[in-house]
Amino acid sequence: MDKHSTIPFEVRSPSIAGMGAFAINLIRAGDVVIEYIGEGISKEESLRRCIDGNNYIFQINDEFDIDGSIEANLARFINHSCAPNAEAQLDGEHVWIIALRDIAPGEEITFNYGYDLDDYREHPCNCGAPNCFGYILAEEFWSVATKPDAQLSHPPSQPEQEQFAASPSD
Ligand SMILES: [Zn+2]
């Protein structure tokens, strides 16, 4: 896989969610987009930061994780998508963001954040992909997890309430 000597994207908005990373030039399938770097932290510290709501932590191995919420980690601007064009690959103690297909100039770069089943309901997804699962969740869990619209498939007596509300008052 080829590695870019410079950052192949620019950070700007609007995007799927706040700031996003947009390809400057064509990025070929299989290319390294960028390394996801961060502060090496112990499992105990990682758990503490996750409970504090830090969403930038990558599990590396049984010994340590990395916290990507540092200024130098430009990969933190890459948004999650349920139909991503890149993916995070763990290589030893390094995390590489790799293009899954050719990414055209101006296209937003995304990868699946790969959250597990523990607390995915706290992370709604609005990525806009036709197959959007509705939560930020690793695709391997989609078949066993509950989609948000599944909870709305039997709306509780909604038509009756609308009848009351529809009575004219003027
Ligand atoms: Zn989505």
How close is the Cα of 7 to the center of ligand 1, in Å? 25
Quote the distance between the C-alpha of residue 158 and its chain's center: 33
Please identify every stretch of the chain with a pLDDT value under 70, giving residue numbers as ranges. Answer: 1-5, 150-170
160 part of a folded domain: yes
56 part of a folded domain: no
In this prediction, residue 158 carries a pLDDT of 47
Burial 15-33 (b: 16+ CB within 10 A, else e): bbbeebbbbeeebeeebbb
Which among 43, 78, 71, 72 has a CA at the least distance from the CA of 58?
43
How close is the Cα of 5 to the center of ligand 1, in Å? 31
147 part of a folded domain: yes
60 part of a folded domain: no
How close is the Cα of 37 to the center of ligand 1, in Å? 24
In this prediction, residue 13 carries a pLDDT of 95
How close is the Cα of 159 to the center of ligand 1, in Å? 30
How close is the Cα of 106 to the center of ligand 1, in Å? 20
> What total of structural domains would you count in the chain?
1
In this prediction, residue 118 carries a pLDDT of 85
By residue range, what is the domain housing residue 151?
Answer: 9-37+73-165
In this prediction, residue 57 carries a pLDDT of 92
pTM: 0.83
Per-residue model confidence as pLDDT tens digits over 140-167: 999 999 888 765 545 444 444 444 444 4
130 part of a folded domain: yes
In this prediction, residue 146 carries a pLDDT of 87
How close is the Cα of 41 to the center of ligand 1, in Å? 29
**102 close to 36: Cβ distance less than 8 angstroms:** no
45 part of a folded domain: no
68 part of a folded domain: no
157 part of a folded domain: yes
**Residue 134: CATH number of its domain:** 2.170.270.10
In this prediction, residue 170 carries a pLDDT of 53
How close is the Cα of 28 to the center of ligand 1, in Å? 23
How close is the Cα of 136 to the center of ligand 1, in Å? 6
